[in-house]
Structure 1
Amino acid sequence: MTDSFVHLHVHTEYSMLDGAAKVGALFGEVERLGMPAVAMTDHGNMYGSAEFYRRSKQSGVKPIIGIESYLAPGSRYHKKPVFWGQASQRGSDEYGEGGDVSGAGAYTHMTMLARTATGLRNLFRLSSLASFQGYYRKPRMDRELIAEYADGVMATTGCPSGEVQTRLRLGQHEAALRAASDYRDIFGKENFFLELMDHGLTIERSVREGLLDIAKRLELPLLATNDSHYVTVDQAESHSALLCVQAGKTLDDPNRFKLDGDGYYLKSAAEMRDYWDKEVPGAASNTLLVAERVESYDSVFSEVDRMPRFPLLEGETEDDLLRADVEKYAPTRFPNGLTAEYKERIEIELGVISNMGFPGYFLVVGDLVRWARSQKIAVGPGRGSATGSLVAYILQITDLDPIEHKLIFERFLNPERISPPDIDLDFDERRRGEVMRYTVDKWGEENVAQVITFGTIKTKAAIKDAARVIHGQAGFGIADRISKALPPPIAAKDIPLSGIFDPAHERYAEASEV
């Protein structure tokens, strides 16, 4: 594999409205190119890590999980613009000179890669803390934070907006050297690389000699990368359209945001080596050394029982406590007592909940909902499959009697389909903060997390975005005609765009011609 190459600067679809590389397609292309590994380095987040890892297990390609992080030009707590050069240097000239701190003085860039499972956990911490503590236009880290969580992490100077490159463009060569030296000391000499790119940009070429000089003076390794934002070369135009969606521009707008230069795809090993082996011998080979040093992440993603545990008295079990709660609260739902049908249903549900290891979950959720009700906080009656649980009804988690409404418990918990329970709770949004505060105070800040969801671009939205980006104002009418020709959604799901052009798709015949 000495003539191979590993892409270590890759933006997937999780670089929101910037990266266009779908994870599955990315691995498919890496496999086709015969590369041994590939990295994921999305802008300021690690949202795609789990999908990236799981997809790697379906192939023989080693996953290298990382992040293209944003670094504050000073302290992460300083939330105002910082510039290092003169006012006249804030824009780079035709020779790539000048160009101050990016984001209008808010941040520089750095590529970080998890070398070990510990390093991956540290990157997760860094990514989260950058949002919690350093957010200013983007989630930002700083030297202090990085130094605290550098164990198991490899890093590079990043793209042309990195700190070292920015200093070099401003003519501040000693400051660039000090910055590189600082990060060498933080990560370790063998874990910090000077990153080289070439997409035909003057701002890349103008700093190369400076990076080579620093590499020589500090004895740091050089690393060739390609700033990949999509998978194959033919996706360049589609990626440009995606950037227009992000910026609210059209492709005809001369002032739209676009990637200058070219080649922002997964180039083959031959393409990368043909250039870099001549320009900077060893820089391409170092990508293979980096990949070899990356260890398994299996322990991070292995299944762990994280079900909440309710406080117990000595000799007491969660099963005992859940049964006691059911007996305690049953009279509030059934003041005239329980019929044989209800008693049998309770026993069945308690048996399934116990065997699947979820009694603590019901105890925690029941306590939370009853507290909210006691504080006169409006709670929804319940939705989804959880309304099929009689135990949830008795514990006041839901307000629907599943037997009366003929709801099926097995849709919620089924011993033949092992999956954790999912109870959707609705609280009065005006007092949602009180519910969260109670949860944190009772169970500890380290045990409570908020979950996010991703909004994906559906078929009709994609058509409307594409029509606007290509045709401007006239695109709205075009998109409307196409949207009306689509088959109606089923269960709120549109036909995928690929299905419109695929005669083999089950709903292809339902579409109309425009």
Structure 2
Amino acid sequence: LGQADLLRRAMGKKKKEVLDAEYVPFSDGMKAHGYSPAAIKALWDVLVPFSDYAFNKAHTAAYGLISYWTAYLKQHYAAEYMAALLTSVKDDKDKMAIYLNECRRMKIQVLPPDVNESHADFTPVGTDIRFGLTAIRNVGSNVVDGVVSAREEKGRYTDFNDFMEKVPALVCNKRVVESLIKAGAFDEMKHRRRALVVIHESAVDQYVDIKKNEAIGQDSLFADMGSMDDASGFGVFGASVAIPDIDDWDKMTLLGHEREMLGLYVSDHPLFGVEHLIASATDMPVSQLAETDDGRTVVVGGILSAVTRKMTKQGNPWAMVMLEDLEGAVEVMFFPQSYVAASVHLVEDAVVLIKGRVDRRDDIPKLIANEVTVPDLSVGPRGPVVVSLPTPRCTPPVVERFKEVLSAHPGTTEVHLQLVGGDKTTMVRLDEKLRVRATPALFADLKALLGTGCLPTGA
């Protein structure tokens, strides 16, 4: 039965060279059971053409109908369809990365998790999709149930202290709260993530004590000061943890924590603004390595999300690195010979191009590196920067944040805003005060705010 299953797999691959390799064990097996060479050839001549399709009519009809359904849903209910698709692979970060990139291509913005907006799974929000809370590391379904039920029963959370007051005790766990903070689930409350991380442990201790006392019927001494909430800073149960006014982490630290908690970048990506430069210098995105022939030499590019340096038994240095682009990640091996020249470039968060040989001996493809280079990321487009924005998204908060982004990148390049609404498109040339320096950093900030579809292909 084992040999028969190998033959079945070879037929399923629909590759003649793979099937031909199974002929000898097939023939030997039939001879051992007393079949003549003519009978062996007759049966093989049936199997080979059958492997070209290997589906019965009912199977084909079912696949055709499912393909029609999914194509219809993707076209007419794009956000709902992609939200369901992301939920179905929420435990597979590589597939999630591929579908997140597909959302970007479809101009669907995937919003970060939010304690006031998110549910357990990915949910459609108009034409956007909201990240589900259960996809956050250390946040289980019981915690999510507590967050959502408290929100529905007691109202939206107004700030961090209000959240800690309203949620049940099982949510008041230091690891859970820290994970929510680093994933960006409190960002809409205008709290800085670093400030919340600084005080989250003392906040949890304080609110856990209050909830324990409440559970045994001992009201806080300040319970009757609820009406003085706004003036005094005391919550309903007499607790209020001061949140320090300190600067947040830098962008890469914020994104690093976000990736740690969510498994991938969501609110922004280090490659936003330079993806066109990476694409022009590589053979394929990382996600296509799984379909690439074993042994083929290719060039791929992205950011080094992890670097592990080791020594061979002979004392020679080598390294394993994780290269990540917008669609996935691949493990790359730098053995001693290639490591010597490459080591200076093997730094976490570095954007690099790697030339190497595809290794598909295992289920998950790897890359055996030959060389690494650092691309020139300073190249920007000529002419005005054209930013496209759907009219429904042109709200005062978005416009204000848009101005802040432009002001953070002052320069001499004009900015044209293209407002798209139905069949009507309006082009507006922005004030000279909002001229910018057209750099990958600007494009990254614009895409993080407005989605990757806000800029033309190649920007």
TM-score range, shorter chain: under 0.3
- Scaled by the length of structure 2, the TM-score of the pair is 0.24
- Scaled by the length of structure 1, the TM-score of the pair is 0.22
Bigger strand share: 2
